[in-house]
Structure 1
Amino acid sequence: MSKYTLLKSRKFFIALSCLALSSFASQKMLAQSVTVDATIDSLQVMIGQQAHIQLQVSMDAKQKAIFPHFKDYLIKGIEIIGVAKPDTQYLNNKQRMLITQKYTVTSFDSALYYIPPFSVKVGTVAYKSKSLALKVYSPRVDVSHPEKFYPQKGVMNPPFVWADWAETIFLSILSIPLLFLIIYFIIRFRDNKPIIRHIKIEPKLPPHKQAMNEIERIKVERIWQKGLSKEYYTELTDTLRTYIQERFGFSAMEMTSSEIIEKLMELEAKDINDLKFLFQTADLVKFAKHSPMMNENDSNLLSAISFINETKAEELTDIKPVPTEITVEEKRSRRAKTLLAVGIVVLSAAVAAIIAHVALRLADMFI
């Protein structure tokens, strides 16, 4: 082998050795960049108490960690009752990160437990934490004095707090007006009447105009031609009685025909004779079943009109008419009826829910 070839082989061997050492150093540095630490907040707990184990992994931000998974028990005797969501913190301008995983454990057997190291896999390498220990002990019992042991206490009722019942009381009070509102809606729905009555304000007519309007109606209907003479004279005399009562100021509706005539004569009213004949004819028709002639009916109608015109009071133009309220009942439309029915159903469901809620609260308190 020549001197040149030997020198060249030595350089290649040296370069290969440097490359291997560099790879080994980089792997070692990468391994040292991952740290796994486990701590426990209580080294000693009583049976049934809880302890918290904290597992922390520090690594590069580009790496991925896989934490150990436990089903029900950490080890035999130590039960896992809660696993918190991992908490991640970024460090060194997000070049590294610190992941914290918390486990809540408990035990119901007194013993000194050895908790083996936790294994966390980062990439393809598994890293382990240090081992832990947990002492679980039972409470001390003085068996030499059995008289100090007491039986189990009964269930204690919590104290009454108004704030706990504010919602129930409010709903109970609210259900009362809602119940009355449902009853009102049902009545209006049954009678086919609107929820709100419409009120019209109209001026009150003077007595003679009211009487003339009524007589005009009687004249148009001409019910005596249908054999209803008694009804005809009843309506005619009632119209005259109402007019006389409002015009002259005495209770003509409660007086007999003769008493009305006598009272009008005292007041020196006009056209008393024709009015007297009209009342006499009406009494005969109503009480003696008298059947007057057609011309007699027309004549009595004209006598009533003449009496009203002769005795009516003079109208004063500077006096404003007194308004009177007239209630107007209107039938609901189909749409309004549907909305009313829906309102009844919704309110009924709300009241039923309130009653059920109050009943459940009362049952929880007394049962």
Structure 2
Amino acid sequence: MGRTAFILFLFLTGSMCAQDVRLTAKTEVDTFRLGSWIDVHVEGTSPAALDTIGPVVKDSLGLLEVVTVERNGIEPKWLIRLTTIDSGKVYLPPIAFDYTIKGDTARHRAYTNSLMLNIAGMAIDPKGDIKDIKPPLNAPWLFEDYLPYLIALAVAALLAGGFYYYWRKKKQRAELLAEIKVIIPPHREALTALRLLEEKKLWQQGLVKPYYSEVTEIIRHFFERRWGIIALELTTDEILMQMKHVPDAL
């Protein structure tokens, strides 16, 4: 008997609490534009024994799509934002809320009132002219829009500057190398020429005169480089006369 009375007490307590949970849904206006936000404000009154409460909302409510669900702090107030692509009269069914009571693990459910919303579509004049679709509006350019172009321009400038610097250094190096002349001492040049003449083997071939002619030319060229005597244009006697005026020639 005592157990039955306890269960009956809990059932009556839950029933009374369920009756005390009242939820009201309303909107600030009755007419909305097609595609705009539809803000539904839900306010509730709850008994002191209420533990938790929250809306049972999925992706849609009837023909309305659920965008966001927000609660205003700890107060039993919610903002349910909806939208729709239908026009005319659109029915918003009662919104379900689940709640629990302190000391009771069972989940209970309460509902808001339903609403009839008026969704205004685009006004069309049946007698009006058919007009082309308007092109998209050009949004003003921001700094973020210019940033990729500025970065690309800076990279191109760096590459161009690096290429010019490399080309300039390479050109200067080529000019410097062109200006540098390898100076071979006169005696080394003469010895090299005599060695090349020996490799021709003119003497062995009986070409004695050409052999002596080349030897004479090598010696005269040596005199010109060593002592500055224009030996190629002078006779042997003239060369000897010139060498008398050179201190270290004889």
Q: Compute the TM-score of the two structures, normalised by the length of structure 2.
A: 0.54
Distance 1:226 1:150 in 2: 100
The 8 Å contact of residues 221 and 231 in structure 2, kept in 1 or not, is answered as: no
Please report how far the alpha carbon of residue 127 of structure 1 lies from its aligned counterpart in structure 2 after TM superposition. Answer: 1.0
- Give the aligned CA root-mean-square deviation in angstroms: 4.9
Q: How many residues align?
A: 201
Aligned to 1:269: none
Q: Cα distance 1:181–1:51, how it changes in 2: closer, same or farther (>3 A)?
A: same
The one-letter code matched in structure 2 to 1:132 is L
Match of 1:177 in 2: 157
CA 22–179 in structure 1, closer or farther in 2 if over 3 Å, else same: same
| Structure 2: distance between partners of 1:151 and 1:171 | 42
Alignment partners' CA distance in 2, 1:33 and 1:232: 129
1:70 to 50, 58, 72: 58
What corresponds to 1:158 in structure 2?
Answer: 138
Cα deviation 1:5-27 (Å, max 9, x = unaligned): xxxxxxxx8x8898678545643
Give how far 1:166 is off.
4.2
- DSSP-derived class of the 2:73 partner: strand
Deviations 1:272-293 (A, max 9, x none): xxxxxx222xx326x78x9xxx
For the residue of structure 2 that corresponds to 1:89, the secondary structure is: coil
Alignment correspondent of 2:192: 226
Q: Secondary structure at the match of 1:167?
A: helix
| Offset at residue 130 of structure 1 (A) | 1.3
Per the TM alignment, residue 233 of structure 1 is displaced from its structure 2 partner at its CA by: 6.6
Provide the C-alpha distance between the structure 1 equivalents of 2:97 and 2:25, rounded to a whole number of angstroms. Answer: 11
Query: Is the CA contact (8 Å cut-off) linking 1:53 and 1:104 kept in structure 2?
Result: yes
Alpha-carbon distance in 2 for matches of 1:149, 1:103: 37
The alignment status of 1:100 with 2:109, answered yes or no, reads no
Unaligned runs of 5+ in 2: 101-106, 174-181, 195-217, 237-245
Unaligned segments of structure 1, at least 5 residues: 1-12, 91-96, 194-213, 237-277, 291-299, 304-367
Displacement of 1:46:
3.8
Any residues of structure 2 matched to 1:165-314 within 5 Å, and which? 166-167=146-147, 170-171=150-151, 173-184=153-164, 187=167, 218=185, 222-227=188-193, 278-280=227-229, 283-284=230-231, 302=248
Structure-to-structure mapping, 1:4-83, within 5 angstroms: 23=10, 26-28=13-15, 30-31=17-18, 34-55=21-42, 63-65=51-53, 67-71=55-59, 73-75=60-62, 78-80=63-65, 82-83=66-67
TM-score computed with the length of structure 1 as normaliser? 0.40
> Is the contact between residue 49 and residue 107 of structure 1 (CA under 8 Å) also seen in structure 2?
no
* Residue 129 (structure 1) shift: 0.9
What is the distance in 2 between the residues matched to 1:180 and 1:69? 61
* Alpha-carbon shift at residue 74 of structure 1 (Å): 2.2
- Do residues 136 (structure 1) and 119 (structure 2) align? yes
**How far, CA to CA, are the matches of 1:109 and 1:18 in structure 2?**
55
**Residue 62 of structure 1, CA deviation:** 8.3
Is the 1:218–1:232 Cα contact (8 Å) retained in structure 2?
no
What do the CA deviations read for 1:157-176 (whole angstroms, capped 9, x no partner)? 63875857643563464244
- 1:126 maps to 109
Aligned counterparts of 1:137 and 1:157: Cα–Cα separation in 2: 24
